[in-house]
A and B are shown apart, each in its own frame.
Chain A
Amino acid sequence: FMLTQPLSVSESPGKTVIISCAGGGGNLATTFVHWYRQRPGRAPTAVIFDYNRRPSGVPDRFSGSIDSSSNSASLTIFGLKTEDEADYFCQSYDSVKHHWVFGGGTRLTVL
């Protein structure tokens, strides 16, 4: 079971960016997808859990979704700010091996 993300994305301040997470070998519609932001030199923090829910303190500029037809999830960030520059990781559950899996991470550049 693998989660595949684009290595990098870039967009201008104020714009919208979508980061994808493709599930291979597992059904993302049944295993939940969560998203983390990791700023340079810092620990990851959750920005989306259970596909589309935001932890307390995360602004509503962050939104998550799932597309069952393509077995992929997406993180959308609206109204980009320079502070959004970070690495973003998706995470899900391998229900066969009872392990937890992360995507390789996507570096977001806001320029």
Chain B
Amino acid sequence: EVQLAESGGGSVQPGRSLRLSCAASGFAFDDYAMHWVRQSPGKGLEWVAGISWNSVKIVYADSVKGRFTISRDNAKNSLYMEMTSLRPEDTALYYCTKDNIAVPGTGTWFDWGQGTLVTVSS
């Protein structure tokens, strides 16, 4: 059974940084691409960033490009996201998601963790 456990969320002031982590288990982590998807309170889903199994292909949503960095450590079965220059509009529940293919593309669909909440407010 796929298990994804996010951590690292919290409350921060605008302009500060935060690092999210995701511990994966129940599947061969290094066989699959991984992503972060967020959901603002009471709102819909927004894809944020994705990374291929070998970290060669990395893509970001325009809303976070240049501020967020996705990475993975296959030896530790872990996914990360470094978030800098945080804005109030980044406030959301951040989900770690497992892709169903090795390189993100047309066939990408997601298995989801439970999420970690990030609140950006002064």
Contact = CB atoms under 8 A, between A and B. Distances in A.
Nearest to B45: A102
B41 interface: no
B44 interface: yes
A91 B106 contact: no
B109 interface: yes
Interface stretch (A10-18, A45-53, A74-82): A45-53
A30 interface: yes
Nearest to B100: A49
A29 to B, nearest CB: 11
A20 B2 CA distance: 29
B85 interface: no
Given A43-B115, A99-B59, A91 B109 contact: yes
Nearest to A35: B109
A63 B50 CA distance: 28
Contact of B112 (A34, A44, A102): A44
Contacts of A105: 44-45
Nearest to B113: A43
Contact of A49 (B105, B109, B112): B109
Contact of A50 (B45, B107, B111, B112): B107
Contact of A99 (B45, B61, B110, B112): B61
Contacts of A46: 109-111
A58 to B, nearest CB: 13
B107 A32 contact: yes
Given A99-B59, A102-B46, A43 B106 contact: no
A32 B101 CA distance: 13
